[in-house]
Amino acid sequence: MTIAAAVAAVVGDGAVITDPDVADAYRHDQTPMLDAGRPAVVCFASSTQEVAAVMRIASETRTPVVTRGAGSGLAGGANAVDGCIVLVTTRMDRVLEVDPLNQLARVQPGVLNAAVKAAAAQHGLSYPPDPASYAFSTIGGNIATNAGGLCCVKYGVTGDYVLGLEAVLADGRVLRTGRSTVKGVAGYDLTSLLVGSEGTLAVITEATLRLRPAPGRTSTMVAVFPTLVAAGRAVVEISRAGVVPSLLELMDHTTIVAVDDWQHMDLDRDAAALLLAQSDSADGGGTAAIAAACSQAGADFAVETDDPDEGEMLLAARRFAYPALERLGATLLDDVCVPRSRIPELVEGVEDIARSHAVTVGTFGHAGDGNLHPTFVYERGSEAAEQVVLRAFDDVVRLALSLGGTVSGEHGIGLLKRGHLADELGPVSVDVHRAVKAAFDPLGILNPGKSIP
Amino acid sequence: MTIAAAVAAVVGDGAVITDPDVADAYRHDQTPMLDAGRPAVVCFASSTQEVAAVMRIASETRTPVVTRGAGSGLAGGANAVDGCIVLVTTRMDRVLEVDPLNQLARVQPGVLNAAVKAAAAQHGLSYPPDPASYAFSTIGGNIATNAGGLCCVKYGVTGDYVLGLEAVLADGRVLRTGRSTVKGVAGYDLTSLLVGSEGTLAVITEATLRLRPAPGRTSTMVAVFPTLVAAGRAVVEISRAGVVPSLLELMDHTTIVAVDDWQHMDLDRDAAALLLAQSDSADGGGTAAIAAACSQAGADFAVETDDPDEGEMLLAARRFAYPALERLGATLLDDVCVPRSRIPELVEGVEDIARSHAVTVGTFGHAGDGNLHPTFVYERGSEAAEQVVLRAFDDVVRLALSLGGTVSGEHGIGLLKRGHLADELGPVSVDVHRAVKAAFDPLGILNPGKSIP
């Protein structure tokens, strides 16, 4: 029996794809330039039991398994390898329970982030993590990559909201980690170990998520800067002022113009940078204190509004940042993160790198976390331009490391950053990573070639 | 050469204890009733290099190593085993760096929690985790047990403030985990894996801690309840109201009377329970909304104050809870945690258990987290009473599990809860724990017999 037939016997004929043309859509995520193999079969699991049965087949036949949700990843973490089983979780898409008193939700991995938010909102609660892909990315993928988003500066990342997991091990056994209580120290923190492990340790089949009371009234501020470095300094000043914004985003000149060319939003096309901030609390002075810090750092002017609709309009420019840059050509998006105080050096260094390679870069991102997305734009289809951009990309990653930062703030390692990971971790950590991987997956069948060096 | 001589050659003669009488103080933590072995040597390391050299000796000679800070643990996690090296970190007690712009501190493991708080306060920042032992417990021990405290209901536990670690592996190699950025997804979350691992995976030699802006003005509320269950219901009502207190503590009648007998604080000795709450934010209505929720749940009355000194006086009763119970006899302190909504059942069940075994119990703790410390009080030196209390203690742990809770909210497993851990984890998780342990410590020399089943 072929792998495909064995898998079909588990999930049903209606839940497998073997036609290479149809399977093609499941071979890679949204990252450009990366290799993707040809799977033996793509299958859609409907239950933990089916995932377990697929993993038993994989273990017995030593077949690689690449798990994926919506495939919205930006590091190639879900790219297929030749002969693998692509295990798709999108049919396991139920919110199993919302418990308003204990402020938690139990969900399947294939549910969309937006659906979890909506289910929480029905009970006056919120599920904060908000990657840009929240409308179409799955919770399983969010957990596998420890996805970030705009809220992180105040509310943290996906991992901060995962209380417990159900996951299928490489040999098909079902592991439960964590708990339904807000505190607990029984045993090792296997939950956090699985969060961000990019499908290399186990297949997540259920998650218990922490919810929060819905945030209070939100005010919004936009500040316009004459230089990018001044905007970077403003981030430091806001931190120094002791304010905790609920959102603090940056857009550089290239990004501003790209958005305005597309959306005609009357943005200040002369601005070197914009900072957008929100505050959902009066603690620390809210947006007024943020605006004052921006002025002190050299902002030309700052506007504030308490009106939620006006606030959403101001934020819209930021939400269009990446698609606006994508309209200009092929793109390669970086995801470096540095200590907040090093942002001025990072943004200046990125501009220097772009200049020295003569490439276009648009920088935007989560300035409040030190997590920026310098995005290189180049001519579609040009191999030569691609090579130049790859070198500039490498330079940015090295710059971030030299500033005490990390090669990936929120997108993950996948295939894209695998070459850089060992530089960040060092040899002892690499050895420990391999030992942990072997403890979970001795045959090495779970997402081989991804994430770990 | 003996183990003691080899270790002395590393740390110096002035940094070892071999005299059994002097070493006795380093054989156990503060947990009653548990066995403690006789170490071959107690040593005080002064640097990462010394810890690494000690671990190399331990690996070469297959000698167990029990790491400890101040020995303030409440689960026997730092109790010696026969022939071991007790590795004391209290001389590695420096705050290496406070970085106010990036709101982080780099510290050695032997520094006291209170010293980290003080160093942060000098920069207008706070280090929130506040175990009851904060004045005398070390950060290394806090991290090894993932210590909680009173702030957790709003600010989380120790692990939420650990960005990165330096740790010495069993074979003496030095591992660095995590980073100095607030976000980062490069590699497995080894930081969280080491947090709470109770010295069984590595020896923590440095920590990078996240700090926060100092909290705003704090208001305090005390509510008096006619029944313990009504106080439990109030916790649920506060959560339902969408308020996030910065502290929410419970004391039952036995505890109130014990504190008042000792401190003469004019507490309401007829009360079945007190709830003490603080709010450091106006969001959600602050203590006024908390007081309203208490009244709705059946509180006899509630008082509020915005005066910090008055607030501290009201809180003092809670701070005296455990020492007040200790004055009544020998004590055995439990540390169960349940989903918040199950607190009424937990407190009622604990009273039933105490009644059925005819033992005295005083229940207090972090009600806002569902984490309570039912404390059995019995006649000092009575073997018979001790046996009865142990049975009641087991019943409480089983009750917590039956309510969807955990056997330990914040004190850890150590020796005390080792028998209960497998019940909570289940066989697959136990296997994974053992595989992870073997990946880090193949010889099994790090704190053997503790924490994992």
Q: Residue B85 has what pLDDT?
A: 98
Region of poorest pLDDT, from A12-16, B310-314, B354-358: B310-314
List of chain A residues whose C-beta atoms are within 8 Å of the C-beta of residue B340: 101-103, 182
For A58-114, write each residue's pLDDT tens digit.
999 999 999 999 999 999 999 999 999 999 999 999 999 999 999 999 999 999 999
B200 DSSP assignment: S
Give B-chain residues touching A280 at CB under 8 angstroms.
283
pLDDT digits (tens, 9 = 90+) for A253-291: 999 999 999 999 999 999 999 999 999 987 777 899 999
Residues A22, A5: Cα–Cα separation, whole Å: 17
Query: Is the per-residue pLDDT at B284 higher than 80?
Result: no
- Asked whether the beta carbons of B182 and A370 are under 8 A apart, the reply is yes
Q: Above 80 in pLDDT, residue A209?
A: yes
A193 in contact with chain B, both atoms CB, cutoff 8 A: yes
Given a cut of 90, is residue B283 above it in pLDDT?
no
pLDDT at B325 over 80: yes
Partner residue opposite B433 with nearest CB, options A181, A187, A236: A187
- B340·A421 Cβ contact <8 A: no
DSSP A298-330: T-SEEEEE--HHHHHHHHHHHHTHHHHHHTTSE
What DSSP letter does each residue of A360-420 carry, written as one string?
Answer: EEEEEEEGGGTEEEEEEEE-TT-HHHHHHHHHHHHHHHHHHHHTT-BS-SSS--TTTTHHH
A239 touches chain B (CB under 8 A): yes
N- to C-terminal Cα separation, chain B = 34
pLDDT at A216 over 90: no
Q: Which residues of chain B does A186 touch, with a Cβ-Cβ cutoff of 8 Å?
A: 406-408, 413, 417, 421, 424-425
Best probe of the B interface among A181, A244, A373, A436, by most B CBs < 10 A, is A181
Condensed to tens digits (0 to 9), the pLDDT of residues B142-201 reads 999 999 999 999 999 999 999 999 999 999 999 999 999 999 999 999 999 999 999 999
Question: At a CB cut-off of 8 Å and minimum separation 6, what does A356 contact?
Answer: none
How high is the pLDDT of residue B32? 87
> What residues pair up with A17 in beta bridges, in sequence order?
A42
Contact B188 A197 (CB under 8 A): yes
Residues of chain A neighbouring B424 (CB-CB closer than 8 A): 186-187
- Position A21 pLDDT exceeds 90: yes
A20–chain B Cβ distance below 8 A for any pair: no
**Rounded distance between C-alpha atoms, residue A31 and residue A68, angstroms:** 14
Q: Per-residue pLDDT for B331 more than 90? A: yes
Instruction: Please give the pLDDT value at position B421.
Output: 96
> Which residues in chain B (200-219) have CB-CB distances under 8 A to chain A?
201, 212-214, 216
Assign B432 a pLDDT band (cuts: 50, 70, 90).
very high
Instruction: Tell me the shortest Cα–Cα distance from B384 to chain A, in angstroms.
Output: 29
Q: Is B175 near chain A, with CB under 8 Å?
A: yes
Contact residues on chain A for B158, CB-CB shorter than 8 A: none
CA atoms within 13 A on the CB side of B146: 25
Question: Do the chains contact at A124 and B242, CB–CB below 8 Å?
Answer: yes
% chain B with pLDDT above 70:
100
In sequence order, what DSSP letters do the residues of A223-265 get, joined into one string?
EEESSHHHHHHHHHHHHHTT---SEEEEEEHHHHHHHHHHH--
Tell me which chain B residues have a C-beta less than 8 angstroms from the C-beta of A366: 183
Q: Using the structure block, give the residue that is written with the tokens 């069984």.
A: B200
Per-residue pLDDT, averaged over A219-248, amounts to 94
User: Cβ–Cβ of A436/B190 closer than 8 Å?
Assistant: yes
Residue B100 has pLDDT above 90, yes or no: yes
CB contact B169 to A (< 8 Å): yes
Whether the predicted model's global pTM rises above the 0.90 cut: yes
Chain A 262-321, residues with CB within 8 Å of chain B CB atoms: 280-284
A212: left (phi > 0), else alpha (psi -120 to 50), else beta?
A: beta
Task: Give dist(CA B11, CA A175) in Å, integer.
Answer: 43
Residue with tokens 């607990």: A184
- What integer pLDDT is reported at residue A453 of this predicted model? 82
Both tokens assigned to B3? 């183990």
Return the residue matching tokens 């020896």: B203
pLDDT of residue B242: 85
- Asked if residue B10 has pLDDT above 80, the reply is yes
Residue B134 pLDDT class (50, 70, 90 cuts): very high
The radius of gyration of chain A's CA atoms, rounded to the nearest angstrom, is 22
**Which of A146, A151, A168, A185 should we substitute to test contact with B (largest number of B Cβ atoms within 10 Å)?**
A185
How confident is the model over B308-332, as a mean pLDDT? 93
Cα(B201)–Cα(B98) distance, integer angstroms: 27
> Which residue among B152, B192, B438 places its CB closest to the CB of A439?
B438
Mind listing the pLDDT tens digit for each residue in B363-413? 999 999 999 999 999 999 999 999 999 999 999 999 999 999 999 999 999
Q: How confident is the model at residue A318 (pLDDT cuts 50, 70, 90)?
A: very high
CA distance B451 to chain A (A): 7
Size of interface A-B (CB pairs under 8 A): 267
Paired with A1 in beta bridges are: none
Cβ contacts (< 8 Å) between A105 and chain B: which residues?
none
pLDDT, residue A283, reads 73
Q: Please check whether residue B175 is in contact with residue A428, taking contact to mean a CB–CB distance below 8 angstroms.
A: yes
Q: Is the Cα torsion angle B332, B338, B342, B343 positive or negative in sign?
A: positive
Using CB atoms, which residue from A148, A183, A408 is nearest to B157?
Answer: A183
CB-CB neighbors (< 8 A) of B409 in chain A = 181, 183-185
Select from A183, A282, A421 the Cβ nearest to the Cβ of B152. Answer: A183
φ and ψ at B393, to 5 degrees?
-60, -45
| Domains of chain B listed by start with CATH number | 3-88 (3.30.43.10), 95-213 (3.30.465.10), 219-402 (3.40.462.10)
Find chain B residues with C-beta within 8 A of A187's C-beta: 413, 421, 424-425, 429, 433, 451-452
pLDDT of amino acid B306:
93
In this complex, do A102 and B340 lie within 8 Å of one another by their Cβ atoms? yes
**Tens-digit pLDDT profile for residues A35-51:** 999 999 999 999 999 99
Q: Which pLDDT tens digit goes with each residue over A361-407?
A: 999 999 999 999 999 999 999 999 999 999 999 999 999 999 999 99
Are the Cβ atoms of B152 and A213 closer than 8 angstroms?
Answer: no
Tell me the average pLDDT of chain B: 96
User: Which residues in chain A are contacts of B408 at CB distance < 8 A?
Assistant: 184-186
Per the document, the length of chain B is 453
Q: Is the dihedral of CA B59, B64, B67, B70 positive or negative?
A: negative
The string of pLDDT tens digits covering residues B12-62 is 999 999 999 999 999 999 998 899 999 999 999 999 999 999 999 999 999
- Per-residue pLDDT at B281: 84
Which of B280, B274, B189 lies closest to B243, judged by CA? Answer: B280
Nearest-angstrom CA–CA distance, B18 and A247: 57
Convert the pLDDT of each residue in B223-259 to its tens digit: 999 999 999 999 999 998 888 999 999 999 999 999 9
Q: What is the mean pLDDT of residues A249-254?
A: 97
Q: Do A429 and B192 touch (CB under 8 A)?
A: no
Contacts of B129 in chain A (CB under 8 A): none
Angstroms from B194 CA to nearest CA on chain A? 8
Name every chain A residue with its beta carbon within 8 A of the beta carbon of B176.
Answer: 426, 428-429
From the list B214, B283, B417, which residue is nearest A281 (CB)?
B283
Range 431-450 of B in CB contact (< 8 A) with A = 431-433, 435-436, 438-440
Instruction: Calculate the dihedral angle through the C-alpha atoms of B209, B200, B31, B341, rounding to the nearest 10 degrees.
Output: 70
The band of B216, judged by pLDDT with boundaries at 50, 70 and 90, is confident
Contact status, residue A209 vs residue A107, Cβ threshold 8 Å: yes
Beta carbons of A421 and B190 less than 8 Å apart: no
Place of tokens 């006619």: B226
Q: Distance from B238 to chain A by nearest Cα, in Å?
A: 9
How far away is chain B from the Cα of A17, in angstroms, using its nearest Cα? 32
Q: Give the pLDDT confidence score for residue A160 in this predicted structure.
A: 97
ipTM reported for the complex, 2 dp: 0.97
Hey, are the CB atoms on B193 and A188 less than 8 Å from each other?
yes
DSSP at A446: B
